[in-house]
Amino acid sequence: MIFKILTLFPEMFPGPLNFSIPGNALKSNKFSIETFNIRDFSNLSNNSVDEKPFGGGAGMVLRPDILQASLDYAVKKKKSKKAKIIYLSPRGKVFNQSKVKEITKYDELIIICGRYEGIDQRFIDSNDIEEISIGDYILSGGEVPAFILIDACIRLIPEVLGNTESLNLESFEDNLLEYPQYTKPLMWNELKVPEILFSGHHKKIADWRKKKAIEKTKSTRPDLWKLYKNNERERK
């Protein structure tokens, strides 16, 4: 899978993606990252890329002509037929595991990292771009969200995770949060690991974990619990 990043700060990549599971996958060529410095496509003085917003207001807005030039160059270097363009924005649809599964069907993702007050709407309207948000809060730019999006995607690439079963047991599968986990020591801080987990009875352990996942989801994420119940009704 190929990730192409349009950014004002290409030196930020691969950053944290160079470590642990993503780092191993990167070194073994399970995915690749290409960065494109938006500023390289400016023909303005001092390689400026932004202007004041029409209608007034705080901050600066990235120019559509410069963004288009950088996107055209990235698309021209497209190495696969199945590519998708994503703009990371707080105005987009909230990123979740269903969206991860959807976008990992593409061989190539072109990710646009905004800065300042955002980007000119005409650029979005003129291209087949999906806006994605990682949550209801504001960050300084799209680079950190890009790390999150890429990390989530590469976990679904075959052979990236040592144990593929863990994908089916993680939070958000079937709209349930993950059950609580325990390890050694058996007794810590006067708290003991639930006996069921070292009983050796696999069916009872699975039932206990399902029960705990349901309890956690109901108390913490009522929105997910509602989706889970709706899906269960449809299955019946």
Residues 6+ apart with CB under 8 A from 97: 152, 171, 172, 173
Which CATH number does 171-235 carry?
Answer: 1.10.1270.20
Q: What is the DSSP string of 47-109?
A: G--EEPPTT--SS-EE-HHHHHHHHHHHHHT---S-EEEEEEEEEEEEP-HHHHHHHTTSSEE
Q: Which pLDDT score, from 0 to 100, does residue 168 have?
A: 63
Nearest to 82 by CA among 105, 56, 102: 105
pLDDT 10s digit of each residue in the chain, 236 long? 999 999 999 999 999 999 999 999 999 999 999 999 999 999 998 999 999 999 999 899 999 999 999 999 999 876 667 899 999 999 999 999 999 999 999 999 999 999 999 999 999 999 999 999 999 999 999 999 999 999 999 999 999 997 766 666 666 778 899 999 999 999 999 999 999 999 999 999 999 999 999 999 999 999 999 999 998 888 87
- Sketch the domain layout of the chain as residue ranges: 2-154, 171-235
Query: What's the token pair of residue 97?
Result: 């595991």
Measured distance CA(151)–CA(146) in Å, rounded: 8
The per-residue pLDDT for 123 is 97
pTM given for the model: 0.89
Cβ–Cβ contacts within 10 Å for residue 67, how many? 24
Question: Rounded to an integer, what distance in angstroms lies between the CA atom of residue 93 and that of residue 134?
Answer: 8
Superfamily of domain 2-154: SPOUT methyltransferase, trefoil knot domain (3.40.1280.10)
What was the pLDDT predicted at 164?
65
**Residue 166 has what pLDDT?**
65
At 236 the pLDDT is 74
H helix runs in the chain, sequence order? 20-27, 64-76, 97-103, 121-125, 143-154, 165-169, 202-220, 222-235
pLDDT at 62: 97
